Amino acid sequence: MKVLLVGSIMPPDASIKVPVKTALQTVPSLGWAIRRLSYEPAERLRMGRAAWEFARTQTWAHRADIMSGLYEGVARKQNASGEADKQFAA
């Protein structure tokens, strides 16, 4: 299972990543991305389809499964290192 983390919510084949730094850097980058999509209709269509397919997988049940898996992984790691036992010892 591929988990997308904060900062990469949309898969790369369904989006154009624009770094957000300063307005002087971000605004031209957004303009470039919009122009790219306006000049390349086949790319826009491909990305739209990829975004639609990704969106279809983003149900509440799916997101809950991902979060449960992340929490279980953290709990296993803490149990393996004994951290959880130390935190909750009386």
Q: What is the pLDDT of residues 23-39, one digit of tens each?
A: 999 999 999 999 999 99
Q: Give 10-25 pLDDT, tens digit per residue.
A: 888 999 988 888 999 9
Same domain (yes/no): 72, 54: no
Same domain, 70 and 54: no
- At residue 58, the pLDDT reads 86
What is the arithmetic mean of pLDDT over 62-67? Answer: 89
3 in any annotated domain: no
In a domain, 70, yes or no: yes
> Which residue would you say has higher pLDDT here, 73 or 10?
73
Is 9 within a domain? no
Residue 52 sits in the same domain as residue 25: yes
In the block, residue with structure tokens 């990469």: 8
**DSSP output for 14-62:** G------S-HHHHHHHHHHHHHHHHH-HHHHHHHHHHHHHHHHH--HHH
Alpha carbon separation from 68 to 11, 42, 51 (Å, rounded): 21, 38, 24
Domain boundaries, position 69: 59-90
Residue 82 lies in a domain: yes
Give the total number of structural domains in the chain: 2
